[in-house]
Amino acid sequence: MSDTRAILQLARELLTRSDPSTAGLWPRAAALLTRQALEEAVDDYWRSRQLPLDSLPTQAQLVCMRMMTADASLPARVHEAWGALSRACHHHPYELSPTAAELATWIEVVEEFGDRQGPAA
């Protein structure tokens, strides 16, 4: 989980750095880092439960997680964050980059998931 924390810290630093040379670039960079951390945390979740689902696409893993968890509220938020981050990672000229507040919210969801995943029950 320490790799995930380090990646999320880099994403957080991008939110607080005000540098004109990175204007327009930092939101997508932060989104990419956050999505990478989320995907690593999801893979760790399956490995800790000794279920070989980490080789599946992330979308499928997230659906399985929602179906296998009694309280699906956090997996639902993780799934929603992953979808939003995936959209944010792709540049479309007609879409705005995510805001710092949106990115901070997604980072918090990933951190909560990492903190709560713990060992398999």
Nearest to 8 by CA among 103, 119, 116, 117: 103
Which residue segments constitute the domains of the chain, with CATH numbers given? 2-117 (1.20.120)
pLDDT along the chain (121 residues), means of 10: 84 83 80 95 90 90 90 92 93 82 95 76 41
User: pLDDT value at position 77?
Assistant: 96
Residue ranges in 1-90 assigned as alpha helix (H): 2-16, 26-48, 58-68, 73-89
* Measured distance CA(52)–CA(61) in Å, rounded: 10
Rounded to two decimals, what is the model's pTM? 0.87
